[in-house]
Structures are given as C-alpha cells and as structure tokens.
Amino acid sequence: MLKIENKADIFHYRTLLFILCFALFSLLSRYFYLQVIDYDRHFSKSKVNSVKALTTYAPRGLILDRYGEILVDNYPTYILTVKPYELRDKEQEFVKLSSIIGIDTEELNRRYKKYHRGPFLPTTIAKNLTFEQISQIEEMRLDFPGVQYDRSDERIYSPILNDAHFLGYLREVDRDTIPKLDKNLLYRAGELIGWQGIEKQYEKELRFSKGVDYVEVDTHGREIFRLNNNNIPAFPGKDLSLTIDANLQRYCRNILEGKKGSVLVSNVNTGEILSMVSSPSYDLSIYRGTTSEVEWNDLLKNKDKPLLNRSIAGLYPSGSTLKLITVINLIENSLVDPSDSLLCTGIYVPPGSTSEFRCWNENGHGLVDLNKAIAQSCNIYFYETVQLISLKDWTDTAKQFGFNTSTEIDLPNEKSGLIPDQDFYIKNYGRWGWSERGALLNLTLGQGDILITPVQALKFTNHIASRGETAQLRLNLSEEISYYDKIVYPEKIWNHIWDGMFDTVNADQGSGWRARLNGSDVKLFGKTSTAENPHGEPHAWFIGFFDVEDTTYSIVVMIENGGGGGAIASPIAGDIVSYYINSSKSLAEN
C-alpha cells in the first residue's frame, strides 16, 4: 500500500486553529451582543410580531324623523372574508363556500378581485350571511383555511318609509374608490360608505370611529388569546334627526301612489322640509346586496325612472308659475296699472305677426285686470303685458328668486335648472335665429327652454310667502337657521301677488278652487300651472302657502304628465294641507 507523507507543519496547524478560534469568538460575540447588549430592542420586536392588531367597528348613527321615529336603523349580520396568503386551493374552497352561502363562484371571484388589497389583508367576498350559514362554515372549519367571518351592521329601513329618495344608500368601497376618499376616515376595500342622499351628505357625522383590539398569535399567525391592554374601543356614529314629519311623508307618498311626480312641504320660517316625496320610487334595501343583477338592470331600464329623485333632480318647464315674475316686473317698473283691464278673447296675435297665441280658455276671459289674470291664469293678459318688459329684466328677476342656480339644500346631486337669457339664445339659435319679443311670449308662460326643479319652485314659493326674506331649505333638524339673500320689493308688489294667489284658490272662478279648504279658517294661497310638454301630456303644478298657529308653511305639487294644474295638482294640494292642519291640531291636543 502506498502512503503519502503528511506535509503539514506546525504553522498550518496554528493558522487553522486561529481561524477556528476567531470564528467561534465572532459567533459568541454576536450572540452576546444580540442577547445581552441589544436585548431590549429585539425583545420589543418579538413582542410586536407576536401581537396582531384587529380593526373593530361600531354601528353607523341612526337617522330619525323630527319626532324621534327611526327611519334608518342598523341590523346585525355577518360578513365573510379571506386572507389570500392562507388559501391553499382558492377555487376549491370557493366551490364549497358557494354551495353554503348561495353565491356562485364567478361572483365570489369577482368580489375577490375587486376588494383584494394584498396577500396579508382580509378581502371581503360576501355579506349578509345568516347564523345558519356561519354555523355550516364553522363545522367545516378545516376545509376553509384562510376563510374568516365577522359580525357587521347593515342598514335597515323602516318598512313604511323605505322608499324615500332623500335618505340615500350605502355602497361598498373598492380599490379604485379609496384614493378619492378622505384619508382621515381610513376606509378600506369592502367597507360601506354613504353614496347618495343624507347618507352621503352627512357621512362624517353618521360614520363610526374604528377601534383596535390586540391579540397574541403564534409563529403561524394563529390567534392564541386576546389581550386586554391598550385596546381602543370603536364608537358609534352620531344619530341624525331630520326635519321630516314621518306621518306627513307617508300620507304624501300614498297620495302619489301610481303617479309620477313630486310633493314638497316646508316650514317657511325655518326652512325645514317636512315632506319630500318623489314618485315612483324603489325599495332602498336593494343596496343591502341581496338584489340580483337581472332585478338591478330592470330597475335601471325602467322607463318611469324610479331611481331619479324628481324633487331635486327632475327638470321640468314651470308653466304659469312664472307669470308671477312678469307681475313683479310690471308693477316695479310701473308698466301697468293693476286696476286696468285688458280684453281676453282667447287669441293673441303679436303686432307685425300672423302667428296666433291662444289662452287655455278658448272662449276668453273677457275683461281681465291684474288680480283676475293671476287668479284665473289668463294667458292673453300676460302675452300682451310681457311685451313691455325687456328680456334682461325678466331673466334677472327670475334668477334673483333662485332659478338657474341650486337651492343649496343639504342633499348631493341637485340640478340647477335653466333660465335662458340673451347669451343662451345667441349660442343655441344664432344671432338672427330668435327674437326677444318671441322669447318673452314663451318665458312669461314658463315654456320654451325654461327648466326648473320642484325644490326651486319651493324656494320661489317661500320667498313669496315670506315677502323676500326666507330661510334656507334644509333636512338636518339640528342645523342652525340661515337665510337666502333678501329680496327687497315695495309692499304693494307682495300685496298684489298675495291677493292674486288668494283668489286663485278662494275666488269662484279661481284656477285652483279645487284646493279650497272648505270648513277651515286657514287661508290657502296658491298658483296653478299647466306646463306643456313636447314628450307627452302636460305637467300639472300647484304652489302655495298657508299659516297654522303663527307658522307659515309652503307646498309644491308637481304631477309629471298629469294634465291640468287646476284639475289634477290642486285637489292633491288641498288634501295634503287639510291632512296637515288636522294632524297639527291633533298633535297640539295631545
């Protein structure tokens, strides 16, 4: 056997020994540094890693009517979430979940993708789970790694008042929406946010403040037990009391059953909205996530537009309501003597023209003074007298009363309407494609390009009822009273308008006689309007105001495609006013 002589000398041995000793010394030094010198820092880190912070939630604030009746409440339910990094086989788990909760796997995957925020953060995939469904999932816990559930609160609406557009609804926050939201409120994907109506307008007040619970976990992130130190409790949102009278709201809603339109009732002195009805409507509970895609598409495509809040976003020609704008211009500029009479034969032909403009009364009203023209809504009187006014004066007066701008009521998505002025006509019809005289013939009757909302008509009515100094419209009962810019006119102007509006309802031939309050000592002032509509039957309007126990109230009734204002809107207004007078007396007695 061959042997090789060991050539290593003592130097090599010493070198290797030195390297070995140095390595051992380095390891021991590092160990000493970590365990002794830097002990506090690493111990703190280990404690942090062993403790997990869980976000806790509280209910949103309730929404109540002016007398404390709950309009929007909270209902306890369960939400289902998954932690992406813990899922072993997502598709297989989703198939099993689908059979339990009744949501197909395609929808679960869509929600997973929509609300996914990262591998370590929970992703909401289902809501409104029942206790029975949660029990089934818990029984099969080993089949669902990464699947978690938690108790949550959903909005539930009063079954009698579950279709009020102004209440609004909640919507889930997704990843695309989060960057646009208030960062101080710490939204996360899958949470609910006020998206329309009161829920949106007062989101900060109604929304809860989140809390934090701390739990100790093992190295796999599994919860061992909950810690009681330094937990931050979640606080519910503030309750919100509205100016709405729930009983009056129910009555107005029932009276509009089967009709398209809007009813508004307000307290002129304070600006409080007592009733705001838009018909047709829909059940607000569709936003709780139980509505199928087919049902939702049917609602979107419904030709009656039930999703539209007609009170603040429905745009309509005003009709004869704006004859009162002409009255103001005529008296302010001394263009007519209110006691002078004009002959209404039922037809008006402008000077230099062969076009005929007709009165709604084909036989004519005979001799008509200003008061009779308002009360009987004589078109011919206003056709003739509006020719004395300049287009600019007329449009400036209309805008002064708030037309062409929003009322700034505390609701989102209010429309501003349109009062066409000279710039509008030139832009849309060219310099020679229109005439000022012809435009005024349309404007004085509230026709042509004019568009207003029912809430603008309410503001206009309140200005008249308060003689120019009216409170801003609002739905929040606790909000302080503020006022629109004061409109100053001589008392004789307000007196003539009031006299004409009183006779509209109370004179024998007044166009609004069907609103008369027989057997009551309350005086109802009103103005009817039949607004021609190129897309169908005319819109029926009634605006008015009345006093009950030293408080002035206003009412606007608009029936879309309803027909004549005097025949259709007036009796509805009279019924509502009678109901409110009787309910006010009953409330005072009790």
Confidence (pLDDT) at 166: 94
363: pLDDT strictly greater than 80: yes
CA–CA dist 514, 575 (Å, integer): 10
Domains within the chain, CATH numbers bracketed = 53-241 (3.90.1310.10), 313-319+390-425+449-589 (3.40.710.10)
> Helix or strand or coil: residue 125?
strand
Cα separation values, 514 from 3, 226, 564, 578, Å: 130, 70, 12, 12
221: pLDDT strictly greater than 80: no
Q: Which two tokens stand for residue 112?
A: 């997973």
Per-residue pLDDT reduced to its tens digit, 152-211: 788 888 887 888 899 998 887 877 788 888 777 778 777 788 889 999 999 999 998 888
Phi, psi dihedral angles at 269 (to 5 degrees): -65, -30
Cα separation values, 23 from 8, 11, 33, Å: 22, 18, 15
Question: pLDDT category, 48, cuts 50, 70, 90?
Answer: low
Which are the contacts of 169, defined by CB distance < 8 A and separation ≥ 6?
A: 155, 194, 195, 196, 197, 199, 284, 287
Confidence (pLDDT) at 43: 60
Per-residue pLDDT reduced to its tens digit, 223-255: 666 667 778 888 889 999 999 999 999 999 999
Q: Give me the amino acid identity at 193.
A: I
CA–CA dist 540, 561 (Å, integer): 7
CA–CA dist 225, 240 (Å, integer): 38
Per-residue pLDDT reduced to its tens digit, 241-290: 999 999 999 999 999 999 999 999 999 999 999 999 999 998 887 776 55
Give, as one character, the DSSP assignment of residue 168.
-
Per-residue pLDDT reduced to its tens digit, 535-577: 889 999 999 999 998 899 999 999 999 999 999 999 999 999 9
Question: pLDDT category, 4, cuts 50, 70, 90?
Answer: low
Question: pLDDT category, 590, cuts 50, 70, 90?
Answer: low
Confidence (pLDDT) at 474: 97
- Under 8 Å between Cβ of 455 and 401: no
CA–CA dist 59, 36 (Å, integer): 48
- Give the mean pLDDT of the chain: 88
Burial of 437 (0-12, 13-18, 19+ CB in 10 A): middle
Residue with token string 């287009």: 391
Per-residue pLDDT reduced to its tens digit, 106-134: 888 888 887 777 777 778 888 778 888 88
